[in-house]
Amino acid sequence: MSPRTGQPASKSRAKANVAAPSPRSGRKSRPPAAPRVKICGLRSLDDALKAVDAGADALGFNFHPGSPRFVELRTAARIIAALPPFVATVAVWVNPGESALREALSACRWSALQFSGDEGEEIKGAFPHDLVVRTARLKDRRSLKTALALPRCAAVLVDAGVPGTYGGTGKLARWDLAAELAAARTVALAGGLSPENVAEAVRIARPYAVDVASGVESAPGVKDAQKMRDFVRAAKSAAA
């Protein structure tokens, strides 16, 4: 699918409103000195600015209507327009329709597109690989083998394997399997991370990035400023 027209995919850059990251080969990116931190599930400008002040490198906006962190596109657009420069923005999708994708791409400037549902290659393959974040729910060695064979992408988001869900459960991912995947692919580790456990997760899995939502909230969809500061501090100090 072409993001501009909805017609069959072209491999040219998807849209002027998708920010171009540095070129990647689709292989493992060299881990930064400290992991990048993505705080996901932002629903208000106040929370987004608190996340930036806490040191977040990227903010995620969840467009899955079944999530307690769902945000309307018009709200996300207002938040993104008010963000300071050099903050990455990630659109998080679960089985989106073509019209929803086109509308979001026209409304906001995105650094990455994260697909966390059962989307086929007709959707994910419509975008340049260096804009796409694919999701792997690692629960055993079979799922690890599948993740290692995923098509080229900017990163693989590792989440917990909870049947019937699309993430956001607060359950821990398999850090041991994530570590094996991170040795070959660029990994963003999610799944039950919190200020209390993220340092250990970073030391074990050695991910390129960590991703948190419920672990820094005072209520579903409501971020806690102190928890965000503690999370960022713990994540980035763990790699020292």
Task: Catalogue the active-site residues.
Answer: 40, 159
Q: How far apart are CA 235 and CA 161, in angstroms?
A: 22
Task: Kindly report the three-state secondary structure assignment for every residue of 110-152.
Answer: ECEEEECCCCCHHHHCCCCHHHEEEEEEECCHHHHHHHHCCCC
- Terminal-residue alpha carbon distance, the chain: 43
* Token pair recorded at residue 171: 């359950």
Q: How far apart are CA 43 and CA 86, in angstroms?
A: 20
Q: How far apart are CA 222 and CA 66, in angstroms?
A: 16
* Token pair recorded at residue 55: 């040191």
Alpha-carbon distances of 37 from 57, 82, 196, rounded to whole Å: 5, 20, 15
Q: How far apart are CA 12 and CA 32, in angstroms?
A: 28
Q: How far apart are CA 26 and CA 37, in angstroms?
A: 20
Nearest residue to 127 via CA among 19, 208, 38: 19
